[in-house]
Amino acid sequence: MSKKPISKRLKCRKKYKILRKIREHKRKLKKMPKQKIIRKDPGIPNSYPFKLEMLQNLAKEHEREKLIIKESRSLSLKEFAEKAKEKLEDYNETTSKNMEIDDGNINYRENSLKSFSKDFYNVIDTADIIIHVLDARDPIGTRSKLVETELLSRGSNKNLILLLNKIDLIPKNIIFSWIKHLNNFYPTVAFKSCSQKKNSNFRKNIDITEMKNSALRSSKICIGANTLLNLIKNISNSPTTVVGVVGFPNVGKSSVINSLKKASVCNVGCLPGITRAAQEVKLSNTLTILDSPGVIFPDKVDHLEPVTIITSCIMNQQISRPLDAIMSIYGCCDQEQLRNILELPNFDNFDTFISLVARRFGKLKKRAIPDLNAAAKMLLKYWTSGKILYYTEPPSINDSISTAIAPQWKSKFNLDPLPEDELNMIQGLYIIDSLRSI
């Protein structure tokens, strides 16, 4: 009997052959679950006695299955059509809620006063003095009769101040004419907010005579804050005064409060609807200001023009037809101003203008076709940010609202002309005087 080999050494040929076999075996095992073994149906054997009857029964069952499949397909199509109708109805409801500009007619189904009515009426009830912020470019369009009637209905303890904000966007002579016009009804203050966001950038009161025009044009400078605070002190009789700030969306209510506080206490932006709830800000131990969300007042809904809507009431994303909106803007603006701001060559009509804008800013589709919608959306951003300037001239006194209540308010206040420092500031503003009024 031979001895068992003690050594486990193998020849390399044998060793690597074993390893190869193991690899191949493992690879076959991995492939096995992936392979589908298709076995053919042998059918009914010929020796079966009832083969013909079974074949007939199988054919009938096959036809019955075909009929069931056809019926299920027809039912699924009907259900699909019904679901499509339901989705269409839901889509129409949601789109009708949003604001649409269609041939210059604006449809409002969702009223912003319903959303913010609680905050609006709380501010009017709790405040001793109401500051109605107006856009200096269109004071009549951003002035509401509802605010005045609500104040009158609450008695003579409530006082109203009209604040003409954004005066740096209109010519100097238009500022003075609007102040003179609005002073016939309520005390009016010309105001320019400080548009800086950081607290350190809010400039303190500086001697105006030592400032240059470039400093006056700076976004750190606020005009009218001292005049407004002095007017509030003269009006208030109680030791502690609560002031409410109301107005349309995007007229600059939060920026006014930040300028008075000389700190960024309220969120601001060029888009409407940033302030979503009332906010209390303490200016001092005796003065508190209430910030309110922007409200589209119901007395203005039927009389709002597309220009006012685009400026203050609607976000750019909610405008369904930006080309129609830009067409209304094009009719209001001066062509020379548009050429200077956008750096465009001469153009004669709107189609040429919008195609030049698309090519100037690279808003192109395939094959270098101008993307007019993209160009219109870009122009809407220019419009809402104030880069494209416009203004309205004051009407005659007979055409304005609430002329009958003017004497009641005039007896309360001394409507003196603007202080000298405010006049110097306004004179130092850099404003394009060659604008065309709407």
Residue 209 lies in a domain: no
Residue/partner pairs of 280-287 with CB below 8 Å, 24 or more apart = 281/257, 285/240, 286/239, 286/240, 286/241, 287/229, 287/232, 287/240, 287/241, 287/243
Q: Which residue has the higher pLDDT, 283 or 75?
A: 283
| pTM, rounded to two decimals | 0.62
pLDDT for the residue 23: 96
Q: Are residues 295 and 417 in the same domain?
A: yes
pLDDT for the residue 24: 96
**Res. 79 pLDDT band, cuts 50 70 90:** confident
Residue 265 lies in a domain: yes
CA distances (Å), origin 172, targets 92, 175, 429:
47, 5, 8
Q: What is the CATH number of the domain that holds 424?
A: 3.40.50.300
pLDDT for the residue 26: 95
Q: What is the CA radius of gyration of the chain?
A: 37
CA distances (Å), origin 188, targets 111, 196, 224:
28, 24, 11
**Residue 103, pLDDT above cutoff 50:** no
Residue 62 lies in a domain: no
pLDDT for the residue 91: 61
**Res. 392 pLDDT band, cuts 50 70 90:** confident
Q: Are residues 255 and 372 in the same domain?
A: no
Q: Are residues 189 and 273 in the same domain?
A: yes
**Res. 165 pLDDT band, cuts 50 70 90:** confident
Q: Residue range 41-54: average pLDDT?
A: 85
Residue 303 to residue 313: CA distance in whole angstroms: 13
Chain-centre distance for alpha carbon 359: 26
Q: Which residue has the higher pLDDT, 435 or 207?
A: 435
**Res. 248 pLDDT band, cuts 50 70 90:** confident
Write down the mean pLDDT value for the chain.
74
Q: Residue range 383-390: average pLDDT?
A: 76
CA distances (Å), origin 116, targets 277, 278, 293:
8, 9, 7
Q: Are residues 292 and 332 in the same domain?
A: no
Q: What is the largest CA-CA distance in the chain?
A: 136
pLDDT for the residue 263: 77
Which of 114-118, 146-150, 235-239, 328-332 bottoms out in mean pLDDT, i.e. has the lowest? 114-118
Residue span of the structural domain in which 335 resides? 305-385
Residue 87 lies in a domain: no
Answer left, alpha or beta for residue 262, where phi above 0 means left and psi between -120 and 50 means alpha: left
Q: Residue range 293-304: average pLDDT?
A: 55
Total structural domains in the chain?
A: 2
Residue 5 lies in a domain: no
pLDDT for the residue 64: 92
